[in-house]
Every structure is written in structure tokens, then in C-alpha cells.
């Protein structure tokens, strides 16, 4: 057993304070200071006691391809299904999955049943999180519209007082421009962002797959790129208006998946608009060719009609909203991360029961159970030279913290002496095979089941307490 494995094995039980932990000769990445390199880290009584950066002979043989220590990841977008659909996921199973994925903070979407449109539902979510014993921090968005019905504003002020971190009707876009205008103004006065799922539903009625060659060959109804770009353009125009009256108005666009939409955000940022956005691991690593049974990453050999395929066609595990896009769109997602147009990586973790997925493609629920495979997909992109490790880790840590506005308790954590230990340790040189059993999530709806992914999480520590231990 290696020294690190022995250290991991004796660190304690999930939920317990990490009393003493010493990680020697690892590659430390601290996006908050922009520093990375060989080092050692000591945790005592849940607090980072020492961070020693190594140099010269001491650093020999330590590089960024082995054991990596980074601050705990923050997920801006996850669906844990409780209350209402506990067969698909509970707060407890979702938190276990988050910790397995290296996440120490999750922001839950309010499309539960009932929707998180009033403080009492937030109370239920918090009670379930406390009862789970997981130290992973749970945050939640409140609904934009009452009952997520898209007609009148939810009680944004009451929800803000209760502690929501923003407002979203995700699962659905805010269809009414008038409602979005009011929401941006009111949320802006409360100091919170509106998180929109940008989709012009008039273009996606009955849509099944990204509009393009794959959809045509498979006979699936097209889901045009313009449905996203036109929604983003509308949102940005409204934001520009509202901001003139409410300087605090902030818009966050989640799971952008197309080159034109990302280009609009790039231009809006250059013009000084207070907009942020995220992209998902699946949109940057997979393409619509996966619907055709192709199982290559977006940067590998492209699919051609008639290609010998590696999986069955129309697998519902790849049905997701927005849909998996083209090779060029996936490249645009990675480029947006690299140049800062995309502020964060969000998983859009969307667990479903087999009942919701074991149906005809067009009838299957949208979503991928993705919080445990996010790091692996990102490292696959890094290994292929398609993404830098530093940007990937920044977009999992300080990027999302900034979107949340740095407000306590989301102050950006770092590998800093005196800070609560909130970190993930993973072995980039090791891989793991995704199986239904290996996923802590109740949602086994992942197109990556059966596949080996790089980067095994060894240890996740959240707020000084053990959240996940691979041993
Ligand atoms: Zn969404």
C-alpha cells in the first residue's frame, strides 16, 4: 500500500472531522491564487494547517499527471429530485454522488415536486441534507415563477430571506420576456442572479436531437442551434435594458451548448454586460453522434453515415436538454472555457429511474446522471490536449464561486493555511470503470456506463469533514 493509500485508509468515516491528514509529494492546484506545483499539505482538526510548496530536489518526480490536490468542486447546477421523486434521487444519494465526484458544494435546481417556490420547501431540503450526515454543502435556487408555471413571479424576497442563492425555472426557460424583465430587476435588487435555461420553446416543440446530419440519418426531429442562440440574444437584450435601472441585475446562462450562443455571451461580456455562463462536461466531450451509436469523444475521429458503430442506436441515456451537439459546438464549449467566456463547468446532474428512460427515444426523460463522471470527462479532454488542467479546475472552483457572488458561505476556498479543509484528492494516473454499481447516484442513466474514465477520486473533504473516501 502506498503512503497515500495508507493515509486515505485511516482518515476516518464520512461525516467525521478530519483530525489529521498529511499528503506529501502531490501536485497542488490553488486556482484562488493561480498557483500550482509540487507540494505537501497537512490538515489538522479540519483546518489546513500547512501548505508547503516544494522546489529543487524535493520536487523531483512530482508532476501534474499523478496525485492532484485541489479545492473542493462547486456545482452550479444539479437536480436531486427530493422532494417528489425520491426513486430517481434523494438528497442523501445525491450528496454521496457529489462527494464521489469531488464536489463539496452543490446548488440544487428548484424543479422538485412541489417546486422550491416557497421557503418551506427549502427547509425540507436542508433537513434532508442534515439528516444525510454528509458534509457536502447544499445550496438551492428558488423558482423564478410561482409554481414554475411561468406566469407570475414567485415570492423572490421571501426566498432570498430564506437563503436561496439565485432564481431559476430550469427544466424550462423563462418563456415570458416580461416575467424575465421583472425577475432580473427584482433579483438584482436582492443581489442575486437569475439563472436561465435558454431555449426558445417555439423552435423545439417535439424536438429530439440536434438538428443536423445525425438527426436526419436517424429520422429524429431536429432541435436547432438557433433555439438556444435566439433565447440568449433575447435574455441579453432584456438584461441590457434592466441594468440601466437596476445596476445589480445579473444573468447567468446555464448549460450553453452551441457556438453561436457562446459567441453572443463573448460579445456581451466584452461590452460590459453583467452576464456569466456555464457549460457541461457532456456538451464539451460528447456529440450527437452518440445517438448513432458512435462512442468517440468529440475530439476523436468523427462519425460518418454508415460508420460501424460501437453501441446501439437511439440510446436514451444520451437524450438530454439541450441535446448533444456537433463536433464544432463541443469545440466551442472547450474554447469558451479556455478564454473565460464560460465562467464555470456545471454538471446538470439529472438522475432518472429506468422507468423514465426505458422507453422510446422521443418519449424518454431528458438528462444524464453526471456529477460522478464530470471530472473524468474533463480529464479526458485534458489528456487529449483539448483543455488545460488549470482552466478545468478553475471552472470547477473559483469560477462557480464568482458566479454565486462570493457571498458567505461561498467565499472561494483555496489551499490556504488556516482555511477550513475543503478539497479533493485524485489520482490522474489511475482510471475507473463506470458501472451502475460504481455510481452512488440512484440515477444510472449515463452513456458512460461500461467505459473507463481517467482520474480516480481518492478523498473528498468538505468543510473540514470527510465526504468521500475511496478505500
Ligand atoms: Zn436546463
CA 392 → CA 26, 309, 325, 382, distances in Å?
Answer: 18, 30, 20, 8
pLDDT in tens, 382-426: 999 999 999 999 999 999 999 998 654 445 578 989 999 999 999
In a domain, 395, yes or no: yes
Q: What is d(CA 391, CA 405) in angstroms, rounded to the nearest whole number?
A: 19
In a domain, 381, yes or no: yes
Number of compact structural domains in the chain: 2
Q: Is the pLDDT of residue 256 over 70?
A: yes
Q: How many angstroms separate the alpha carbon of residue 367 from the centre of ligand 1?
A: 9
Give the helix, strand, coil percentages of the chain, each rounded to 5: 35, 20, 45
- In this structure, which residues have their CB less than 5 angstroms from ion ligand 1? 170, 197
**What's the average model confidence in pLDDT over 207-228?**
97
pLDDT in tens, 300-356: 999 999 898 888 899 999 999 999 999 999 999 999 999 999 999 999 999 999 989
Residue of 85, 348, 422, 427 marked catalytic: 348
In a domain, 398, yes or no: yes
Q: Are residues 57 and 81 in the same domain?
A: no
pLDDT in tens, 98-111: 999 999 999 999 99
**CB under 8 A, 24+ apart: contacts of 200-203:** 200/173, 200/226, 200/227, 200/228, 200/230, 200/231, 200/234, 201/172, 201/173, 201/175, 201/227, 203/227, 203/230
| Annotation marks residue 348 as catalytic | yes
Q: How many angstroms separate the alpha carbon of residue 286 from the centre of ligand 1?
A: 17
Range of the structural domain that residue 130 is part of: 72-403
pLDDT in tens, 67-92: 999 999 999 999 999 999 999 999 99
Beta carbons within 8 Å of 433's beta carbon, 6+ residues apart: 450, 451, 452, 453
pLDDT in tens, 443-469: 999 999 999 999 999 999 999 999 999
Q: How many angstroms separate the alpha carbon of residue 172 from the centre of ligand 1?
A: 6
Name residue 51's beta-bridge partners.
41
Q: Is the pLDDT of residue 1 over 50?
A: yes
| SS (HEC) of 192-234 | CCEEECCCCHHHCCCCCEECCHHHHHHCCCEECCHHHHHHHHH
Q: Are residues 274 and 140 in the same domain?
A: yes
In a domain, 368, yes or no: yes
Q: How many angstroms separate the alpha carbon of residue 223 from the centre of ligand 1?
A: 15
Q: Whole-number mean pLDDT of the chain?
A: 95
Q: Are residues 265 and 191 in the same domain?
A: yes
In a domain, 317, yes or no: yes
Domain harbouring 364, CATH code: 3.20.20.140
pLDDT in tens, 17-68: 999 999 999 999 999 889 999 999 999 999 999 999 999 999 999 999 999 9
Q: Are residues 21 and 126 in the same domain?
A: no
In a domain, 408, yes or no: no
Selection from 410, 415, 449, 408 nearest residue 432 by Cα: 449
In a domain, 126, yes or no: yes
**What's the average model confidence in pLDDT over 182-191?**
97
Q: How many angstroms separate the alpha carbon of residue 279 from the centre of ligand 1?
A: 11
Other Cβ atoms within 10 Å of 2 Cβ, number? 9
Selection from 415, 412, 411 nearest residue 423 by Cα: 415
User: What pLDDT sits at residue 151?
Assistant: 95
User: What pLDDT sits at residue 51?
Assistant: 96
What's the pLDDT band for 3 if we cut at 50, 70, 90? Answer: confident
User: What pLDDT sits at residue 32?
Assistant: 87
Tell me if 128 sits within 8 A of 88, measured CB to CB.
no
Q: What is d(CA 233, CA 198) in angstroms, rounded to the nearest whole number?
A: 9
Q: How many angstroms separate the alpha carbon of residue 171 from the centre of ligand 1?
A: 4
pLDDT in tens, 130-178: 999 999 999 999 999 999 999 999 999 999 999 999 999 999 999 999 9
Q: Is the pLDDT of residue 371 over 50?
A: yes
Domain harbouring 19, CATH code: 2.30.40.10
User: What pLDDT sits at residue 408?
Assistant: 45
Other Cβ atoms within 10 Å of 6 Cβ, number? 11
* Residue 18, SS3 per DSSP: coil
Q: Provide the terminal-to-terminal Cα distance of the chain, rounded to the nearest Å.
A: 11
Other Cβ atoms within 10 Å of 162 Cβ, number? 18
Q: How many angstroms separate the alpha carbon of residue 180 from the centre of ligand 1?
A: 16
Q: Are residues 131 and 222 in the same domain?
A: yes
Least confident range of 2-11, 99-108, 422-431:
2-11
Q: Are residues 162 and 249 in the same domain?
A: yes
Q: Are residues 48 and 76 in the same domain?
A: no
Q: How many angstroms separate the alpha carbon of residue 344 from the centre of ligand 1?
A: 15
Q: How many angstroms separate the alpha carbon of residue 254 from the centre of ligand 1?
A: 7
**Is the overall model pTM greater than 0.85, yes or no?**
yes
Q: Are residues 63 and 76 in the same domain?
A: no
Beta carbons within 8 Å of 467's beta carbon, 6+ residues apart: 14, 72, 95, 98, 99, 104, 134, 135, 136, 460, 461
Who wins on pLDDT, 75 or 1? 75
Q: How many angstroms separate the alpha carbon of residue 75 from the centre of ligand 1?
A: 14
Amino acid at each position: 500500500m502506498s503512503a497515500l493509500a495508507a493515509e486515505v485508509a485511516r482518515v476516518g468515516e464520512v461525516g467525521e472531522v478530519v483530525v489529521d491528514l498529511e499528503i506529501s509529494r502531490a501536485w497542488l492546484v490553488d486556482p484562488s491564487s493561480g498557483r500550482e506545483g509540487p507540494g505537501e499539505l497537512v490538515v489538522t482538526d479540519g483546518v489546513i494547517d500547512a501548505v508547503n510548496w516544494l522546489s529543487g530536489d524535493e520536487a523531483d518526480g512530482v508532476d501534474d499527471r499523478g496525485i492532484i490536490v485541489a479545492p473542493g468542486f462547486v456545482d452550479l447546477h444539479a437536480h436531486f429530485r427530493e422532494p417528489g421523486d425520491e426513486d430517481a434521487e434523494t438528497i442523501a444519494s445525491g450528496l454521496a454522488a457529489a462527494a464521489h465526484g469531488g464536489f463539496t458544494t452543490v446548488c440544487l435546481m428548484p424543479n422538485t415536486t412541489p417546486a422550491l417556490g416557497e421557503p418551506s420547501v427549502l427547509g425540507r431540503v436542508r433537513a434532508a441534507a442534515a439528516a444525510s450526515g454528509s458534509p457536502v454543502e447544499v445550496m438551492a435556487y428558488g423558482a423564478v415563477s410561482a409554481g414554475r408555471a411561468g406566469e407570475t413571479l414567485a415570492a423572490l424576497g421571501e426566498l432570498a430571506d430564506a437563503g436561496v442563492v439565485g432564481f431559476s425555472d430550469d427544466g424550462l426557460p423563462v418563456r415570458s420576456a416580461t416575467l424575465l424583465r421583472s425577475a432580473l430587476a427584482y433579483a438584482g435588487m436582492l443581489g442575486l442572479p437569475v439563472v436561465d435555461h435558454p431555449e426558445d420553446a417555439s423552435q423545439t416543440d417535439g424536438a429530439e436531437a440536434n438538428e443536423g446530419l445525425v438527426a436526419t440519418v436517424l429520422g429524429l426531429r431536429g432541435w436547432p442551434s438557433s433555439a438556444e442562440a435566439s433565447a440568449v440574444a433575447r435574455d441579453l437584450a432584456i438584461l441590457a435594458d434592466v441594468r440601466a435601472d437596476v445596476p445589480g441585475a445579473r444573468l447567468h446562462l446555464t448549460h450553453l451548448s452551441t457556438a453561436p450562443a457562446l459567441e453572443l455571451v463573448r460579445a456581451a461580456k466584452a461590452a460590459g454586460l453583467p452576464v456569466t455562463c456555464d457549460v457541461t462536461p457532456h456538451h464539451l466531450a460528447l456529440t450527437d453522434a452518440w445517438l448513432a451509436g458512435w462512442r468517440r469523444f468529440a475530439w476523436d475521429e468523427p462519425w460518418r453515415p454508415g460508420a460501424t458503430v460501437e453501441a446501439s442506436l437511439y440510446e436514451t441515456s444520451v437524450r438530454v436538454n439541450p441535446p448533444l451537439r456537433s463536433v464544432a459546438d463541443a469545440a466551442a464549449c472547450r474554447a469558451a472555457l479556455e478564454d473565460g467566456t464560460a465562467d464555470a463547468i456545471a454538471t446538470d446532474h439529472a438522475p432518472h429511474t429506468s422507468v423514465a428512460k426505458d422507453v422510446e427515444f422521443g418519449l424518454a426523460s431528458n438528462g444524464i446522471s453526471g456529477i460522478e463522471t464530470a471530472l473524468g470527462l474533463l480529464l479526458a479532454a485534458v489528456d487529449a490536449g483539448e483543455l488545460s488542467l488549470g482552466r478545468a479546475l478553475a471552472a470547477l472552483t473559483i469560477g462557480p464561486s464568482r458566479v454565486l457572488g462570493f457571498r458567505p458561505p461561498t467565499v472561494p476556498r483555496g489551499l490556504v493555511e488556516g482555511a477550513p479543509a475543503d478539497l479533493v484528492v485524485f489520482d490522474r494516473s489511475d482510471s475507473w470503470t463506470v458501472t451502475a454499481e460504481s455510481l452512488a447516484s440512484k440515477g444510472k442513466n449515463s452513456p458512460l456506463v461500461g467505459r473507463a474514465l481517467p482520474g480516480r477520486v481518492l478523498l473528498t473533504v468538505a468543510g473540514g469533514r470527510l465526504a468521500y473516501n475511496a478505500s
